[in-house]
Amino acid sequence: MTSKTAQTSHQTIAQVVLEVLTYLLYIIVQFAISIVKTLTPYSLRTKKDIEGDVAVITGAGSGIGRLTALRLARLKAKVVVWDVNEEGVEETVKLIKANGGFAKGYKVDLCKREDVYRVAQQTIDEIGEVSILINNAGVVSGKTLLETPDHLIQRTFDVNSISHFWTTKAFLPAMMRKNRGHIVTIASVAGHVGTAKLIDYCASKFAAVGFDESLRLELDSGRYFDIKTSCICPFFIKSTGMFDHANARFIPRLNSNDVADEIVSAILYNRRMVVIPSHLSAAFVLKHVVPWNVYSSLSRFLVPDAHPEENSNKPTLPSFEKSSINKKAIDNNVTIKHRVLGTDVTEEERQP
């Protein structure tokens, strides 16, 4: 080996070592920043201003979607309600307008790609470019794999994950032009851990989690750092019509209002992954380090039946219960102080 070749080799090695040390320093700094952010109370964090932003929420005709829509409207965002349930859309719009917010509703079948693209363009033409997209709509079949009809499996994937591609492709270009926006994926703890009788549901939510992570990486690769994504992964939620009878031990079902609070918090504070309750994140790690028989028995012990037979004859789509507007509460401006966001929430809004 000539002296020139040896010198080149030594320079290459030195460069590689320098790059490795630089990256290790970057990792340490990022860990430090993450720890500081985690320990910083919300009252001291910078909160995003979404006044005037156009926010599309799928499945907002009832349940979590409606509660989230009411909160965003209170923060002065222009809320666009999408749902296949036309009556539910009208009711959500009515509730928002009664509280002084801006709302527009559209009937959309998320199982039909052409319908999604058509209504998306109509939304842009009539209201403006969308800067907040919340892929919230979800369905569950609640049967074992062999008991689940093919069309229900297809519907589960169409609504819970595939529709995210169509909605995001419709609204992302405008966000990219401005390098500003936020895309929220409502997934589930079931998007990280499997559960019996929820094979199609879990698989669709795993896909939703993967969609969010891959989209985030793609945006980072394109240096669109101001387009944020959030993935919300709640446990079973009460009062949505999906898991009202879920049989789970030790882990209580979640309150709909608390989940809606977390969704809005994720937008305002750019939180990437939100697991509710947060301690369940440990289960995601646990399943990779303990023997399968231990994990399997623990999972079956904690959730003996995610969808009991007593609920099998009930509608699997989130049910819509018609509610009236509490005129007195609105007129008297009866409010409850929001514990996380620092905004006022009416008594009527607290009802799922």
Among 56-60, 74-78, 251-255, 342-346, name the one with the lowest average pLDDT: 342-346
ω into 315 cis (within 30 of 0) = no
pLDDT level of residue 314 (50, 70, 90 thresholds):
very low
Rounded to two decimals, what is the model's pTM?
0.83
State residue 324's pLDDT score. Answer: 36
Report CA 303 to chain centroid distance, whole Å. Answer: 23
- Catalytic hit among 26, 42, 106, 201: 201
Of 234, 122, 225, 127, nearest to 182 by C-alpha is: 225
CATH topology of domain 49-350: Rossmann fold (3.40.50)
Give me the mean pLDDT over the 162-184 stretch. Answer: 98
Secondary structure percentages of the chain, helix, strand, coil, to 5:
50, 15, 35
Record the tokens describing residue 56, joined without a space.
Answer: 């599309």
pLDDT level of residue 237 (50, 70, 90 thresholds):
very high
Query: With 0-12 CB in 10 A as exposed, 13-18 as middle and 19+ as buried, what is 58?
Result: buried
State residue 39's pLDDT score. Answer: 78
**Other CB atoms within 10 A of residue 20 CB:** 10
Distance CA 75, CA 58 (A): 18
Please report, for the chain, the start and end positions of each structural domain, with discontinuous segments joined by +.
Answer: 49-350
- Which tops the pLDDT comparison, 105 or 299? 105
Give me the mean pLDDT over the 121-129 stretch. Answer: 98
State residue 263's pLDDT score. Answer: 98
pLDDT level of residue 10 (50, 70, 90 thresholds):
low
State residue 7's pLDDT score. Answer: 60
Residue 201 annotated in active site: yes
Record the tokens describing residue 203, joined without a space.
Answer: 């698989």
State residue 1's pLDDT score. Answer: 52
The answer to whether residue 194 scores a pLDDT higher than 70 is yes
Q: What percent of the chain has pLDDT over 70?
A: 84
**Other CB atoms within 10 A of residue 99 CB:** 18
Whole-angstrom CA distances from 272 to 88, 233, 235, 262, 295 are: 29, 11, 17, 12, 27
- Which tops the pLDDT comparison, 132 or 38? 132
Average pLDDT, the chain: 85
- Which tops the pLDDT comparison, 331 or 33? 33
State residue 342's pLDDT score. Answer: 44
Q: For residue 290, what is the DSSP state?
A: S
Dmax over Cα atoms in the chain, in whole Å? Answer: 90
Of 104, 132, 108, nearest to 120 by C-alpha is: 108
State residue 350's pLDDT score. Answer: 44
Q: What percent of the chain has pLDDT over 90?
A: 62
